[in-house]
Chains A and B, each alone.
Chain A
Amino acid sequence: MTDETLLSARRLSLSFGTIPALVSVDVDLWPGEMLAVVGESGSGKTTLLNVLSGRLSPDSGTVWYRDPAGRLHDVHAMEAPLLRKLHRSDWGFVQQDPRENLRMGVTAGGNVGERLMAQGARHYGSIREAALDWLSQVEIDADRIDDLPRTFSGGMLQRLQIARTLVTHPRLVFMDEPTGGLDVSVQARLLDLIRTLVSRLRIAALLVTHDIAVARLLAHRIMVMQRGVVVEAGLTDQVLDDPQHAYTQLLVSSVLQA
């Protein structure tokens, strides 16, 4: 771990009964970097995400987070108020199903503004301005600001979720299959959007996906997981062009070539 590391995990282990979900996993994430975690379903990707974000406690191992002031925090020893504050300001979480994150009974503008209001913003005009700005950044028409999310398409919902997450300018975003369940053209547009926003705002992101193509497009580095073990890790192109581990070779070769 260097002075720069944003998030750092050492020897994370967690098992559900006799099923090992994580076996001595190490993770390092630097500011502005996109790290993809790939693997088949049940390989422990989402568990890793939940443990890193403090939603789930590991059986052993530690997760360190460096706050903007440079202090290190042990995520799992942190007091609940501090962790919750982190989750609504410095961190963001993008779910596969945007309905889990959005308030479906609240307008698009209210959804985007919620994190601002949770941080103490009390000026209606500036909240609305920020909401309009973010809706345009995620390519949602300004005149949809007072519409309920239930009138939005799947791709729009996902973009709305991204706007809602990024409005507080988080330094670290956890993404759990952000393009899952969307059709291919919508997926492509969303990937493009995520890539643009993340690089422009210099956000570090941890991306969980089972889609190698998504990882190749977005991530700087990649971790391949199988049954809770990180079998291979490195620069995305390096790992995907010259896979060393048998499982990675299998994953790469199983992608359909268009």
Chain B
Amino acid sequence: MRGYNFAYLDEQTKRMIRRALLKAVAIPGYQIPFGSREMPLPYGWGTGGIQVTASVLGPDDVLKVIDQGADDTTNAVSIRRFFARTAGVRTTTRTTEATLIQTRHRIPETPLREDQIIVYQVPQPEPLYRLEASRAETRRMHALAEYGVMHVKLYEDIARFGQVAISYDYPVMVNRRYLMAPSPIPAFDNPKLHRMPALQLFGAGREKRIYAVPPYTDVRSLDFEDHPFRAGRAPHACGLCGAADSYLDEVVIDDRGQRLFVCSDTDYCAERRAAGHLGTEGVAEAAE
């Protein structure tokens, strides 16, 4: 597109972000400050993720953008179109075809490979922010690896609800050193962070922080010995493709309280249906 640099950001900014990314990869889970730029979309829509994507995107990359697992929601569509116009890169909705995936709130169900990069949009990079108001103090806690207070939060949940009641943005220990907020992915996706072959980059635009998890890095969800971490999911099968192992969205389908559970990962669901798997609703559709 004329009048813009490749992938919108100027080269100096990209260099600055890449330097931050290199540091982030060198210290897994540690939050690196960076000079976040104004982007042509509002805070909370992925200004951090879009800057990281712009900095690592090359002309040969194939880009996939998902929002809550779906390729066809506003956020995903607009960011995908943004890079198609400003960088002219090929885009896709298929997880296996993509070399670069920008995501909001999900990790694709299809396991990622070594030649892929996943970029997370992060609203709040500081896992301790609800427990300790002072950033100076949280930085000190990270420096000294004093994370007892996070377990106090887990203790409180178990005392009150009988289980840990964090369903998304579930805190993790990266490489047995830094406590990290995995962005608001469901706790269901946490096990996928552990020793993932793909490079994982996290960008928080408003908070001006970048962090990363290099391939094959240990990522452990916090828990107690007698209350081990459990990845929760709705106890149903997908209504469209019948998958019993994927993360599900609950969709209200009429005004009489009827509900449908479907895969939140639209690509995974479509692939399964193409391969002949059908759920209860899918079968009904085919019969009509």
Contacts and interface: CB of A to CB of B under 8 A. Distances in A.
Nearest to A113: B155
B149 A114 contact: yes
B148 A118 contact: yes
A169 to B, nearest CB: 17
- Most-contacted residue by chain B among A113, A117, A127 (CB, 10 A): A117
A200 interface: no
Contacts of B156: 106-107, 110
B151 A122 contact: yes
A17 interface: no
Contacts of A107: 156, 159-160
B225 interface: yes
A123 interface: yes
A170 to B, nearest CB: 16
A117 B148 contact: yes
Nearest to B148: A118
B74 to A, nearest CB: 36
Interface residues of A, number: 24
A167 to B, nearest CB: 12
A146 B227 CA distance: 18
Contacts of A80: 144
Contacts of B160: 107, 146
Nearest to B222: A122
A220 interface: no
A103 B146 contact: no
Contacts of A146: 159-160
A124 B157 CA distance: 11
A111 to B, nearest CB: 8
A89 to B, nearest CB: 11
B151 A123 contact: no
Interface in B129-154: 144, 146, 148-149, 151-152
A119 interface: yes
A109 B159 contact: yes
A-B interface, 5 closest residue pairs, ranked by CB to CB distance from nearest: A118-B148, A124-B224, A117-B151, A117-B148, A123-B225
Interface of A: 80-81, 84, 88, 103, 106-107, 109-110, 113-115, 117-120, 122-125, 127-128, 145-146
22 contacts: A84-B144, A106-B152, A106-B156, A107-B156, A109-B159, A110-B152, A110-B156, A114-B149, A115-B148, A117-B152, A118-B146, A118-B148, A118-B149, A120-B148, A122-B151, A122-B223, A123-B226, A124-B224, A124-B226, A128-B159, A145-B159, A146-B160
